[in-house]
Amino acid sequence: MVFKAAAVQMCSGVDPARNAVSMARLVREAAAQGATYVQTPEMTGMLQRDRAAAKAVLRGEADDIIVRTASELAAELGIHMHVGSTAIALDDGKMANRGFLFGPDGKVLNRYDKIHMFDVDLDNGESWRESAAYRPGSEARVVSLPFVEMGFTICYDVRFPALFRAQAVAGAEVMTVPAAFTRQTGEAHWEILLRARAIENGVFVIAAAQAGVHEDGRETFGHSMIIDPWGRVLTSAGGTGEAVILAEIDLAAVKAAHDKIPNLKNGREFSIEKIPGAVKGGVAA
């Protein structure tokens, strides 16, 4: 099976309606180039550091402009439309960092709430506490589409290889990693992590990213990528501004990678024991 996939790179601002217009323009561009699956980045609908300001404009899923626009685009263009994620208001006062996959009829085929929260302290005083505003998900998802078995993750999830391995063992042939990586972490780890997840599981990785300096002052790394099961970067975008990248996904490459290095079948259960080191004067050395 072969299909054409697109990753849409954005520089989302603080206004969901304006971001919806940008999303629609870029998705139409991707579809015009033959893409039948189109992925947008994490937080397609809004990047807003001010949590009070964010909550003031966010809506529940039924009233969200990104959800509505993506559904309409999928039906209009006859594509599988994947909103990498957007912030959705929840009843408990928190938000969900939620991805959506729409079928060619515009109906929701899958929802995925980001599992791993980005709670980190970086160099130069950069600090993030995603868990303070967002409720983490608890369910991994592999969706059977007519043309592929697809696994779902979001951004920081890429640092947790067990999530990818579980989905690969469940049959995922393509893993999706929409993201809004910071420039600092992206420069250090973005490509390495994506290629590692592709190689160790023998799957394609499609990663649409946010890119550039945003209205709220943050800077994201960009470099959206599509990577094959051997870890080769098939196509990538730059580090700033909007872009649409496309690649043919030939699922025969997944089987070929698994045949060459069948680590999914060769994995074994094991126990682990921590052995204390040499003891000097009653204290472990």
| Residue 54: predicted pLDDT | 83
| Residue 134: predicted pLDDT | 87
DSSP H or E segment with residue 43: none
- As a whole number of angstroms, the longest Cα–Cα distance in the chain is 75
| Residue 53: predicted pLDDT | 87
Q: How many domains, in total, are found in the chain?
A: 1
State the catalytic residue, choosing from 4, 11, 29, 42: 42
Give the residue numbers spanning the domain of 229: 2-284
265 flagged as catalytic: no
| Residue 130: predicted pLDDT | 81
Q: Six-digit token pair at 192?
A: 């390495």
Q: How far is CA 219 from CA 10, 157, 199, 210, 236, in A?
A: 12, 20, 28, 9, 19
| Residue 41: predicted pLDDT | 98
- List per-residue pLDDT tens for the chain, 285 residues long: 999 999 999 999 999 999 999 999 999 999 999 999 999 999 999 998 788 888 888 899 999 999 999 999 999 999 999 999 999 999 888 889 999 999 999 999 999 999 997 766 766 666 667 877 889 999 999 999 999 999 999 999 999 999 999 999 999 999 999 999 999 899 999 999 999 999 999 999 999 999 999 998 889 999 999 999 999 999 999 999 999 999 999 999 999 999 999 999 999 999 999 998 866 666 655
| Residue 205: predicted pLDDT | 98
| Residue 279: predicted pLDDT | 64
Say if residues 277 and 285 touch (Cβ distance below 8 Å): yes
State the catalytic residue, choosing from 11, 149, 155, 219: 155
| Residue 117: predicted pLDDT | 78
CA distance 75 to 273: 54
- We report the CATH number of the domain holding residue 209 as 3.60.110.10
Which of 21, 38, 107, 20 shows the shortest CA–CA distance to 79?
Answer: 38
Is the pTM value of this prediction over 0.85? yes
| Residue 178: predicted pLDDT | 98
42 flagged as catalytic: yes
| Residue 89: predicted pLDDT | 93
| Residue 119: predicted pLDDT | 64
* CA contacts within 13 A on the Cβ side of 46: 25
Say if residues 211 and 175 touch (Cβ distance below 8 Å): no
| Residue 244: predicted pLDDT | 98
114 flagged as catalytic: yes
State the catalytic residue, choosing from 11, 114, 173, 219: 114
